Amino acid sequence: MPELPEVEVVRRGLEKILAEKPKIQKIELLRPDLRDEMPAREIHKFEGQVISSVERRAKYILFCTSRGALLSHLGMTGTWRVAAKGDERPHDHIYISFAKGLRLAYRDPRRFGIFDVVYDREQHKRLLHLGPEPLEEAFSGASLWRSLRQKEVALKVALMDQKIVVGVGNIYASEALFAAQIKPQLIASKLSLAKAERLVQEVKRILHLSIEKGGSSISDFAQATGESGYFQNNFLVYDRVGQKCANCQQRIRSFMLGGRNTFWCSKCQK
């Protein structure tokens, strides 16, 4: 489900919920594994710790304490919510309990998510090889262009490669390429510097706009606070096969690229 905007919106929701820096009373793992086995022994060491901040790196959420952090990745279907006593649902896999009956629940039907501990952010294997944050200045047209020079894959595939830039998934890759009027199947190394500048500008604009709209609520995505997002109403190509392009009379088309459905306008995107 979640690409950078959705993860950032969830992070902000959790930050608000945990604003008073509560102490973790109890962590319950309702099963041993999500995508991977969870390090139960290490996770339970966080009981008694205070969550001092909720941070994000790429599509990962970090519940930070003075002794390290709990790392959460939402996979395709992961959600965090406040679950009062009695509010248990199928596919709830983790409960984190605090004082005053506050309890966070992690629910993830497909279990593609990750829950792990991080002591050294520079060393953790999931964080080690990540590319730049798209909303930071280090991610520029020039930097993207440089990192694509040797890439002989389709531009959309490269844009979704977390070593090139983090946080951009299947929806925002299609949307950004449409906005920049570049065809998804263009070989990445063939992208001109000028087009790279344009693409970076559109990636940043779209991600910012989506965060502002609360992310995209397709299927059952919701913020940690339970509200839904509205950016799905701004999709111009994603999941719009057969509908008219916003710029021309052409119908939006789709095809598989790197195993992922890819949406584009063959007239606008060159």
The contact set with DNA (CB under 7 A) reads 1-3, 6, 35, 58-59, 73, 75-77, 90-91, 109-112, 126, 150-154, 157, 160, 162, 169-171, 216-221, 258-261
DSSP state of 241: T
Closest to 141 measured CA to CA, from 150, 154, 132: 132
DSSP state of 189: G
Cβ closest to DNA, residue 73 vs residue 198? 73
Q: What is the nearest approach in angstroms of DNA to the Cβ of residue 23? A: 30
Which residue among the candidates 12, 126, 251, 260 is catalytic per the annotation? 260
HEC secondary structure over 17-37: HCCCCCECCEEEECCCECCCE
28 part of the active site: no
Give whole-number Cα distances, 140 to 28, 29, 152, 199, 226, in Å. 42, 41, 20, 9, 34
CB atoms within 10 A of CB 164: 21
Cβ closest to DNA, residue 204 vs residue 260? 260
Q: Extract the tokens encoding 222.
A: 């919701």
Q: What is the nearest approach in angstroms of DNA to the Cβ of residue 247? A: 22
Q: What whole-number distance in Å separates Cα of residue 200 and Cα of residue 265? A: 19
59 part of the active site: yes
Q: What whole-number distance in Å separates Cα of residue 139 and Cα of residue 88? A: 41
Q: What is the nearest approach in angstroms of DNA to the Cβ of residue 222? A: 9
Q: What is the nearest approach in angstroms of DNA to the Cβ of residue 98? A: 27
Cβ closest to DNA, residue 116 vs residue 202? 116
Which residue among the candidates 11, 56, 57, 59 is catalytic per the annotation? 59
205 part of the active site: no
Q: Annotated catalytic sites, by residue?
A: 2-3, 59, 260
